């Protein structure tokens, strides 16, 4: 019989309401508490028997960055759900600090000999690349996920074309703002060590320079996907009163939105962001965010598991990359 929310709550030492928020990927739960709830749910078998011993099932490890990034929380949940629907795979998910890379390196070294396949959302760092190549040399199948890491022996990359995503965001910014009217745009980035973030930046700058040269990226702020850092930076920069647009490459949307609201600038500043979550859905509805460039974490979870299992079994599956989608207030999909 499937475990109940009360069983998970008792094991994790939290309320049933907190468990419900975590299992349904709702905001308002600290990351450490969220991890404790998911671990308790895994331990009591809530997600099905994919976490139990299946004998010859393929063993997959996923390494994801820790933190309050809503998209990563959704991806983690969908990995568990997708694994539950298969009878040929067991998975483990580890979250590690993004900076410095020591957490990734330690997790990769512990993976040697313990897993058949590995999926990773990680920074493009030389020590991480070296560890991945050493694991691949032992026979572990490796796939990068969401943000690619080049120069690594892997079966492939599962994720959107991030340069195209940045160009799409730039096109939206240029078309939303008055034609030919000079203006300054703020750009926020989680970390330049993630190739996906770097590619989005390149794409955005490229289309502004080529198609909308009257728009200038006046400030480039690295926020490490931290909501409070995003808020403080946006609040100070908006004081100038000359900002017409904001593009956020990664997480931290709620912090930026808070600063916009406190400046009463929601109608004056075009705000383009990435990834539809509960938080960005609300910000679309109240018109703080104008458009979301979305990728589908459920598709990415499904494809990376499918590709890794196939590779372990000696097959190569055709790629089915997630499609980019633009979401406005008027076409928000049903949750």
**Do 54 and 141 reside in the same domain of the chain?**
yes
Query: What's the pLDDT score for residue 300?
Result: 94
User: Would residue 327 count as lying in a domain?
Assistant: no
Evaluate if residue 37 carries a pLDDT over 80.
yes
* Cα-only R_g, the chain: 20
Query: What's the pLDDT score for residue 44?
Result: 74
Contacts of 182 (CB under 8 A, 6+ apart): 214, 215, 216
**Do 312 and 241 reside in the same domain of the chain?**
no
Strands 215-222 and 117-120: unpaired
**109-135 residue pLDDT tens:** 999 889 999 999 999 999 999 999 999
**Do 257 and 174 reside in the same domain of the chain?**
yes
Q: 3-state DSSP: the chain helix, strand, coil percent, rounded to 5?
A: 45, 20, 35
Determine contact, residues 255/190, Cβ cutoff 8 Å. no
**Do 83 and 103 reside in the same domain of the chain?**
yes
Strands 117-120 and 325-327: unpaired
The Cα 316–Cα 335 span in angstroms is: 33
Q: Which residue has the higher pLDDT, 4 or 79?
A: 79
- Report, as an integer, the average pLDDT of 6-31: 81
Domains identified in the chain, total number: 2
b/e for 302-321, b at 16 or more Cβ within 10 A? bbbbbbbbbbbeeeeeeeee
**Do 93 and 186 reside in the same domain of the chain?**
no
Percent of the chain topping pLDDT 70: 95
SS3 217: strand
Question: In 10 A of CB 13, how many CB atoms?
Answer: 11
Q: Which residue has the higher pLDDT, 65 or 32?
A: 65
Evaluate if residue 48 carries a pLDDT over 60.
no
Determine contact, residues 153/131, Cβ cutoff 8 Å. no
**Do 238 and 197 reside in the same domain of the chain?**
yes
The token duo for 32 is: 């450490």
Reported as a pLDDT band with limits 50, 70 and 90, residue 85 is: confident
**Do 78 and 224 reside in the same domain of the chain?**
no
Tell me, what DSSP letter sits at residue 332?
P
Evaluate if residue 317 carries a pLDDT over 70.
yes
User: Would residue 271 count as lying in a domain?
Assistant: yes
User: Would residue 262 count as lying in a domain?
Assistant: yes
Sequential DSSP letters for 295-318: --HHHHHHHHHHHHHHHHTT--PP
Query: What's the pLDDT score for residue 51?
Result: 41
Evaluate if residue 35 carries a pLDDT over 70.
yes
The Cα 199–Cα 249 span in angstroms is: 10
Average pLDDT along the chain: 89
The Cα 31–Cα 68 span in angstroms is: 6
User: Would residue 275 count as lying in a domain?
Assistant: yes
**Do 166 and 313 reside in the same domain of the chain?**
no
Question: In 10 A of CB 333, how many CB atoms?
Answer: 10
- Report, as an integer, the average pLDDT of 28-43: 77
Query: What's the pLDDT score for residue 238?
Result: 94
User: Would residue 31 count as lying in a domain?
Assistant: no
User: Would residue 4 count as lying in a domain?
Assistant: no
- Report, as an integer, the average pLDDT of 198-215: 96
Query: What's the pLDDT score for residue 3?
Result: 59
CATH number of the domain within which 70 lies: 3.40.50.2300
- Report, as an integer, the average pLDDT of 285-296: 95
**Do 140 and 221 reside in the same domain of the chain?**
no
User: Would residue 8 count as lying in a domain?
Assistant: no
- Report, as an integer, the average pLDDT of 188-193: 87
User: Would residue 57 count as lying in a domain?
Assistant: yes
**Do 209 and 127 reside in the same domain of the chain?**
no
**Do 106 and 212 reside in the same domain of the chain?**
no
Determine contact, residues 278/334, Cβ cutoff 8 Å. no
**Do 51 and 70 reside in the same domain of the chain?**
yes
Question: 113 is in which domain, residue-wise?
Answer: 47-159+297-322
- The HSE-up count of residue 224 (CA atoms within 13 Å, CB side) is 9
Angle of helix 16-23 versus helix 5-12 axis, rounded to 10: 110
**93-110 residue pLDDT tens:** 999 987 778 999 999 999
């Amino acid at each position: 019989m499937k475990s109940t929310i009360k069983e998970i709550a008792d094991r994790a030492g939290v309320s049933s309401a907190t468990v419900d928020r975590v299992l349904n990927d709702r905001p308002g739960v600290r990351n450490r508490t969220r991890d404790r709830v998911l671990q308790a749910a895994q331990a009591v078998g809530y997600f099905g028997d994919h976490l139990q011993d299946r004998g010859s099932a393929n063993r997959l490890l996923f390494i994801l960055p820790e933190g309050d990034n809503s998209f990563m929380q959704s991806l983690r949940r969908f990995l568990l759900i997708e694994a539950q629907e298969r009878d040929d795979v067991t998975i483990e998910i580890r979250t590690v600090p993004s900076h410095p890379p020591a957490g990734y390196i330690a997790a990769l070294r512990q993976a040697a000999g313990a897993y058949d396949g590995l999926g990773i959302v990680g920074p493009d760092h030389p020590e991480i690349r070296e560890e991945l190549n050493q694991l691949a040399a032992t026979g572990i199948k490796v796939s990068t996920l969401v943000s690619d890491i080049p120069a690594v022996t892997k079966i492939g990359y599962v994720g959107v074309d991030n340069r195209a995503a940045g160009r799409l965001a730039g096109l939206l910014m240029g078309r939303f703002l008055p034609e030919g009217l000079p203006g300054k745009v703020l750009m926020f980035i989680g970390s330049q060590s993630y190739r996906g973030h770097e590619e989005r930046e390149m794409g955005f700058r490229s289309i502004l320079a080529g198609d909308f040269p009257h728009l200038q990226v006046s400030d480039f702020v690295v926020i490490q996907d931290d909501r409070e850092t995003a808020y403080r930076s946006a609040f100070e920069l908006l004081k100038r009163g000359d900002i017409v647009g904001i593009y956020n490459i990664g997480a931290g949307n709620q912090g930026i939105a808070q600063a916009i609201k406190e400046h009463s600038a929601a109608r004056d500043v075009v705000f383009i962001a990435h990834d539809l979550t509960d938080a960005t859905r609300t910000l679309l509805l109240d018109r703080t965010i104008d458009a979301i460039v979305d990728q589908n974490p459920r598709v990415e979870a499904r494809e990376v598991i499918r590709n890794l299992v196939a590779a372990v079994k000696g097959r190569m599956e055709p790629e089915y990359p997630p499609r980019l989608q633009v979401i406005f207030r008027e076409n928000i999909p049903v949750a």
